[in-house]
């Protein structure tokens, strides 16, 4: 259990990369980029977790109680925003590529040969 | 290269990459036993020094507020990018809905969906603002509340037809709201300098921890961010909807 | 003083927000003027920062969260001359691009100006910040603006695919950077570069630190477009609007190199110092491979913008060699090379934009002999070719002198021949294109089967202007002339060498950021002697090569034997996003393995 | 608690693999929204409520919606192309 989260993070990264490499549809490729992003969530989460610690919300618990790492959670929040914005841009590009080329398959998009 | 060569080539380099991952992650402290002085300090000072009970919001909007400024402008830039990419260029017919499939009548919205959507509309907006405003007290904040608020026009779309959505959520107005939200963040930062502090320094009275007015300028930043995020996401969804929905309109 | 360090980032961003608000209310001319005014204000603020940081490097803590002895809590700007100089250069190039763009597009909206201003704000923040995660946030902001700007001409099918390749590869590179930052945070518990450096210095570098260094520098090298990661750049440049290409080639690509140098010297130097020799071999060999391969690809291109894009990759390879030498001379040489190359390449891209504006094509063979009426574009092309070869007064020659001196000092004598080869080939390619377009020399058809196929380039403006307006000629000529005579600026090399020495002093950097220690004036080594012979001979060979290629049929036929490898090379640049990501994975895995196995 | 954490981690890994291996884009949009929900639950279990809320709102609502709208758009363009 002590290294399972890191293994899951590495696995998600590699699976996402495989998805991007072997994709035949641009929308599928963009979602695989989202899976690669989720590997960074799992890694950051595992780095910030402390066993037996409470969430860093001191509304009902006194300030001194041991709590999880809030800095890592702030990084993950920025990460979520980055993911949504990048996927929104990539989807807009994919729609326009389909409008111009009529296909979403990277193998058929031979526009920029050479 | 052909697909097969690419997969073989990738599998070899992926194995090497997995080895790098193993080397990197093996050096990490065991799961749950990490230690960070940074985190302990932030957990210790977020309530006494800033009267903010949600330590994550304290980091996000005060201690590392400049990151969140960059993050908001990432969203602002990508909304501009989506609008720019999806704009109607010259060689496209303006209204391209006259070529919809002949004889296929678009089914009207069923009354059940319409009632539920209307019933849900008001609570969603109230809940969204609740999350935005309580950012520094309980989990949540400008970003999460903003996204919930951006789902309100969709409920309107569910229960009505598309022109109502365009009427209620005029893209032009939302674009101004979004830009004001983003600019607001910088204006607040500049105001801190005008008040004699560094950029984004929390100079306002901190109020009582756990109340809505606690945390000095953090509630104002939260409002700005909530305004921008709700405007931004509504614009993105409208841009996607707008192109799609000419058909349903007629 | 409490606001000046923030101005270069905040002024463009708030102007972009203002332009987005005034989208429909403002006539187009007004929004262009506002954007240019804001860019000039940013350039002035960055120049002021440069002047101040020359005396005493500035440290600025946001939110007044100063380090309380043990821990740096807030985000800091650690402004030193190289960072401030890069920000100033970015603002100057953006101003030139906006002046060129004002009449260039006919259907531009305020969104274009707002995006370019966000792009500028991100670049200024990227070059000034002293915080690891803040660097990543500005990297993402720069990328988001660049993706949209690259695909601005949505009616051109190539533009969208180029932008998609660009977006996917850079985004995956960014996730490697984030993984590296996660590893470093777990090990050091800090996000401030100076704090991390001191935490890492306490015990020797183990595998985690090496993998983190490999991931972060590879993520930024994807943006710097060095060999295994360079595929996206040619596609993105061939299709982006010309004013945007000026920014991509002139300064965005160099930001990736700046980030690698900043990260090594600010964070990893105190712990990786022992194995600097093997790191040097690794980075210099990557740079050399980039310079050589891209130069060959550059000579075999027909599309002018792709030709200039590959010449950018080649010159970035030379700058990577400069940075990879890990000495003050090398870094100073790379900095001056960035200025010289950015100015000359910016002028060349604007000239290509003029041709596109006038003849609605940038294909060398289509433009055969048609450029005679465009006197100014011809001047810019020839001056650019001279500048790329590195004739004595040009910035590129000053950079070359410093890099060769630094390389010779540590025994890398072969570096001189790599930059000689790259300078000749790229300059010959530009000369060949210029002679063919403006003088009509050389064959009308292309017999070389190995060459790149004809790529269709849609026009960026609808009405084909008979006369190129002055707002398009002036910035191009100004940039090229500035690049040509950069070496005349007083004490350029001495200032660069001194600020590079200071850049590389990690102990002083940590002391300055964490404990506000005053700057000790380091003794800068004597600047490198001038070596005009190198530049002149490079240009002479380039001119000879171009002339032979254009006139003697036998020269072209003798180069038949390289068509076999050349077509393989062109096959690799397939434009397929899956190939690019496969090469990206291979590059990062190889870099990581070499880092872990050879270092330590 | 540890057992639950281990389970949720394995579900996330399986979810990621499932998202990658569903080749058809429309069904993938559904799988990705479940995956977003799974990530949200994982954040909740690992004591990160702020991120859980934003992941649920984004990963389970905004992202799949954008993908579905993009796919509808592409289908519409396909129809227009066939006419």
**Closest residue by Cα to residue C174 from B111, A89, B87:** A89
Of C554 and C21, more confident: C21
Q: How many Å lie between the alpha carbon of A60 and the closest alpha carbon of chain C? A: 25
β-partners of residue C59 are: C78
Local structure of B50: helix, strand or coil: coil
pLDDT at B70: 94
pLDDT tens, C466-496? 677 788 888 999 999 998 888 888 888 888 8
When pLDDT is averaged across residues D41-52 and rounded to a whole number, the result is 93
How buried is residue B112: exposed, middle or buried, by Cβ count under 10 Å (0-12/13-18/19+)? exposed
- DSSP character at residue A57: B
A-C contacts (CB, under 8 Å): 121
Q: How many Å lie between the alpha carbon of B113 and the closest alpha carbon of chain C? A: 36
Q: How long, in residues, is chain A?
A: 114
**Closest residue by Cα to residue C389 from C544, C196, C220:** C544
C116 neighbors C98 (Cβ within 8 angstroms): yes
pLDDT at C559: 64
Lowest mean pLDDT, pick from C5-9, C150-154, C326-330, D21-25: C150-154
pLDDT tens, C586-596? 999 999 999 99
- Start-to-end CA distance of chain D, whole Å, equals 58
Q: Where are the beta strands (DSSP E) in chain D?
A: none
Range C371-377, long-range pairs (CB < 8 A, 24+ positions): C371/C437, C371/C438, C372/C438, C372/C439, C372/C440, C374/C438, C374/C468, C376/C351, C376/C468, C376/C473, C376/C476, C376/C477, C377/C351, C377/C438, C377/C468, C377/C476
Neighbours of C165 (CB within 10 A): 27
Q: What's the token pair of residue C385?
A: 């070719």
C587 neighbors C218 (Cβ within 8 angstroms): yes
Helix (H) or strand (E) holding C395: helix C395-409
Q: How many Å lie between the alpha carbon of D51 and the closest alpha carbon of chain B? A: 8
**Closest residue by Cα to residue C364 from C419, C306, C323, C418:** C306
pLDDT at C600: 64
Specify the residue for token string 């080539």. Answer: B9
CB contact under 8 A, B56 and A74: yes
Of B129 and B208, more confident: B129
pLDDT at A111: 54
β-partners of residue A67 are: A54
Chain B residues touching D57 at Cβ < 8 A = 144, 147-148
* Confidence band for B97, pLDDT divided at 50, 70 and 90: very low
When pLDDT is averaged across residues C201-206 and rounded to a whole number, the result is 85
Q: Residue B100: is its pLDDT beyond 50?
A: no
pLDDT at C469: 79
**Closest residue by Cα to residue B138 from A78, D50, A72:** D50
Q: Residue C296: is its pLDDT beyond 60?
A: yes
When pLDDT is averaged across residues C250-256 and rounded to a whole number, the result is 92
**Closest residue by Cα to residue C235 from C145, C173, C317, C297:** C297
* Confidence band for B249, pLDDT divided at 50, 70 and 90: very low
pLDDT tens, B9-21? 999 999 999 999 9
pLDDT at C450: 45
- Hey, where are the domains in chain D? 2-82
Of C375 and C256, more confident: C256
d(CA B232, CA C296): 45
Q: Residue B250: is its pLDDT beyond 50?
A: no
Considering only residues 136 to 155 of chain C, which have any Cβ-Cβ distance to chain A shorter than 8 Å?
137, 140, 144, 147-148, 151, 154-155
Of A78 and C542, more confident: A78
Which of D9, D20, D63, D65 has the highest number of chain B CBs within 10 A, making it the mutation to test binding with B?
D65
- Start-to-end CA distance of chain C, whole Å, equals 44
- Which residues lie below 8 Å from residue C61, measured CB to CB, with a gap of 6+? B198, C67, C74, C75, C76
- Output b/e per residue, C286-304; b: 16+ Cβ within 10 A: bbbbbbbbbbbbbbbbbbb
Specify the residue for token string 């004036």. Answer: C521
Shortest CA distance from C182: residue in chain A: A44
* Confidence band for C355, pLDDT divided at 50, 70 and 90: confident
B185 neighbors B239 (Cβ within 8 angstroms): no
pLDDT tens, C39-69? 999 999 999 999 999 888 889 999 888 887 7
Domain A4-108, classified CATH 1.20.140.90, yes or no: no
* Confidence band for C143, pLDDT divided at 50, 70 and 90: very high
C323 neighbors C253 (Cβ within 8 angstroms): no
C117 neighbors C243 (Cβ within 8 angstroms): no
pLDDT at B50: 86
* Confidence band for C202, pLDDT divided at 50, 70 and 90: confident
pLDDT at B244: 62
- DSSP character at residue A13: H
Neighbours of C572 (CB within 10 A): 13
Q: How long, in residues, is chain C?
A: 600
Of C117 and A60, more confident: C117
**Closest residue by Cα to residue B31 from C40, C179, A69, C262:** A69
Q: Residue C460: is its pLDDT beyond 60?
A: no
* Confidence band for C107, pLDDT divided at 50, 70 and 90: low
Supply angle C-alpha C104, C110, C114, rounded to 5: 105
Q: Residue C180: is its pLDDT beyond 90?
A: yes
Chain B residues touching C74 at Cβ < 8 A = 63-64
CB contact under 8 A, A114 and C178: no
The alpha carbon dihedral of A16, A17, A19, A20 has a sign of positive
Helix (H) or strand (E) holding C76: strand C76-79
CB contact under 8 A, A89 and B81: yes
When pLDDT is averaged across residues A59-81 and rounded to a whole number, the result is 90
* Confidence band for C528, pLDDT divided at 50, 70 and 90: low
pLDDT tens, A83-110? 999 999 999 999 988 888 888 888 887 6
- Of all residues in chain B, the percent with pLDDT exceeding 70 is 85
pLDDT tens, A39-51? 999 999 999 999 8
pLDDT at B96: 45
B-D contacts (CB, under 8 Å): 48
A86 neighbors C142 (Cβ within 8 angstroms): no
pLDDT at D14: 96
- DSSP character at residue C78: E
pLDDT at B169: 65
Which of B56, B78, B144 has the highest number of chain D CBs within 10 A, making it the mutation to test binding with D?
B144
* Confidence band for C103, pLDDT divided at 50, 70 and 90: confident
Model ipTM? 0.93
């Amino acid at each position: 259990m002590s290294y399972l989260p890191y293994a899951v993070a590495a696995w998600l990264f590699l699976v996402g990369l495989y998805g991007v490499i072997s994709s035949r549809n641009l929308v599928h490729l963009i979602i695989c980029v989202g899976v690669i992003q989720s590997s960074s969530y799992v890694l950051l989460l595992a780095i910030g977790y402390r066993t037996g610690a409470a969430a860093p919300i001191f509304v009902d618990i006194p300030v001194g109680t041991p709590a999880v790492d809030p800095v890592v959670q702030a990084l993950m929040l920025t990460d979520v925003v980055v993911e949504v914005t990048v996927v929104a841009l990539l989807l807009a590009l994919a729609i326009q590529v389909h409008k111009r080329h009529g296909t979403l398959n990277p193998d058929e998009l031979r526009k920029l040969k050479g | 290269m052909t697909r097969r060569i690419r997969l073989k080539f990738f599998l070899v380099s992926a194995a090497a990459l997995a080895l790098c991952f193993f080397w990197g992650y093996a050096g990490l402290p065991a799961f749950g036993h990490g230690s960070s002085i940074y985190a302990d300090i932030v957990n210790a000072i977020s309530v006494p020094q800033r009267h903010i009970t949600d330590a994550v919001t304290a980091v996000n909007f005060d201690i590392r507020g400049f990151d969140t400024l960059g993050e908001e402008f990432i969203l602002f830039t990508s909304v501009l990018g989506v609008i720019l990419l999806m704009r109607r260029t010259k060689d496209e017919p303006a209204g391209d809905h006259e070529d919809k499939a002949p004889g296929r009548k678009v089914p009207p919205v069923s009354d059940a969906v319409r009632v539920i959507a209307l019933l849900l509309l008001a609570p969603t907006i109230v809940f969204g603002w609740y999350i935005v405003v309580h950012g520094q007290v309980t989990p949540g904040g400008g970003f999460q509340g903003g996204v919930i608020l951006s789902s309100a026009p969709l409920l309107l779309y569910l229960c009505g037809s598309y022109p109502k959505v365009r009427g209620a959520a005029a893209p032009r107005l939302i674009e101004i709201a979004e830009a004001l939200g983003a600019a607001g963040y910088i204006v607040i930062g500049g105001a801190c300098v005008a008040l004699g502090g560094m950029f984004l320094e929390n100079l306002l009275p901190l109020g009582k921890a756990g109340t809505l007015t606690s945390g000095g300028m953090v509630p104002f930043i939260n409002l700005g961010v909530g305004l921008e995020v709700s405007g931004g996401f509504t614009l993105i969804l409208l841009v996607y909807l707008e192109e799609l929905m000419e058909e349903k309109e007629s | 003083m409490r606001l000046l360090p923030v101005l270069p980032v905040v002024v463009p961003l708030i102007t972009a927000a203002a332009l987005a608000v005034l989208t429909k209310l403002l006539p187009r001319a007004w929004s262009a003027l506002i954007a240019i005014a804001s860019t000039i204000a940013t350039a002035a603020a960055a120049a002021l920062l440069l002047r101040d940081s020359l005396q005493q490097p500035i440290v600025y803590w946001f939110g007044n969260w100063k380090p309380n002895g043990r821990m740096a809590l807030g985000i800091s700007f650690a402004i030193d001359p190289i960072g401030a100089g890069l920000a100033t250069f970015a603002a100057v190039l953006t101003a030139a691009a906006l002046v060129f763009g004002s009449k260039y597009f006919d259907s531009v909206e305020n969104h274009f100006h707002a995006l370019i201003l966000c792009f500028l704000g991100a670049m200024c923040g990227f070059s000034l910040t002293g915080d690891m995660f803040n660097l990543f946030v500005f990297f993402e902001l720069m990328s988001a603006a660049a993706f949209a700007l690259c695909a601005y001409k949505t009616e051109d099918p190539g533009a969208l695919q180029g932008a998609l390749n660009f977006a996917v590869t850079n985004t995956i590179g960014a996730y490697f950077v984030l993984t590296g930052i996660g590893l470093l945070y777990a090990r050091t518990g800090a996000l401030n570069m100076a704090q991390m450096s001191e935490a890492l210095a306490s015990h020797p570098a183990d595998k985690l630190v090496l993998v983190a260094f490999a991931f972060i520098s590879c993520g930024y090298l994807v943006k710097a477009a060095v060999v295994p990661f360079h595929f996206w750049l040619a596609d993105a440049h061939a299709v982006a609007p010309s004013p945007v290409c000026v920014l991509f080639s002139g300064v965005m690509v160099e930001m990736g190199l700046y980030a690698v140098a900043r990260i090594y010297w600010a964070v990893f130097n105190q712990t990786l110092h022992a194995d600097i020799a093997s790191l040097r071999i690794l980075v210099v060999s990557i740079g050399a491979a980039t310079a050589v391969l891209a130069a060959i690809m550059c000579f075999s291109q027909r599309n002018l913008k792709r030709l200039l894009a590959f010449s950018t990759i080649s010159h970035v390879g030379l700058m990577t060699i400069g940075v990879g030498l890990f000495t003050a001379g090398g870094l100073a040489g790379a900095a001056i090379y960035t200025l010289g190359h950015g100015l000359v390449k910016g002028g060349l891209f604007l000239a290509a934009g003029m041709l596109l504006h006038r003849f609605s094509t940038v294909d060398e063979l289509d433009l055969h002999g048609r450029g005679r009426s465009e006197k100014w574009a011809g001047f810019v092309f020839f001056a650019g070719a001279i500048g790329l070869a590195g004739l004595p007064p040009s910035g590129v020659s000053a950079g070359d002198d410093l890099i060769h001196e630094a390389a010779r000092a540590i025994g890398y004598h072969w570096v001189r021949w790599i930059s000689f080869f790259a300078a000749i080939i790229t300059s010959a390619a530009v000369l060949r294109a210029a002679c063919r377009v403006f003088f009509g020399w050389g064959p009308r058809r292309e017999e070389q089967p190995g060459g790149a196929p004809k790529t269709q380039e849609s026009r960026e403006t609808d009405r084909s202007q008979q006369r190129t307006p002055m707002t398009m000629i002036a910035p191009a000529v100004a940039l090229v002339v500035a690049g040509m005579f950069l070496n005349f600026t007083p004490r350029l090399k001495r200032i660069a060498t001194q600020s590079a020495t200071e850049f590389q002093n990690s102990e002083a950097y940590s002391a300055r950021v964490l404990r506000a220690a005053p700057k000790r004036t380091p003794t800068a080594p004597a600047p490198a002697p001038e070596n005009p012979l190198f530049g002149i001979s490079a240009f002479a060979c380039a001119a000879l090569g171009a002339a032979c290629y254009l006139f003697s049929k036998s020269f072209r036929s003798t180069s038949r034997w390289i068509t076999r490898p050349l077509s393989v090379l062109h096959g690799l640049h397939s434009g397929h996003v899956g190939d690019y990501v496969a090469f990206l994975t291979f590059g990062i895995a190889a870099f990581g393995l070499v880092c872990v196995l050879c270092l330590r | 608690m540890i057992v639950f954490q281990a389970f949720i981690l394995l579900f996330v890994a399986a979810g990621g693999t499932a998202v990658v291996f569903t080749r058809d884009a429309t069904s993938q949009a559904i799988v990705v929204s479940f995956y977003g929900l799974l990530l949200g639950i994982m954040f909740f279990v690992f004591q990160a409520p702020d991120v859980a809320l934003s992941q649920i709102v984004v990963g389970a609502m905004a992202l799949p919606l954008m993908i579905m709208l993009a796919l509808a758009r592409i289908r519409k363009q396909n129809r227009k192309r066939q006419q």
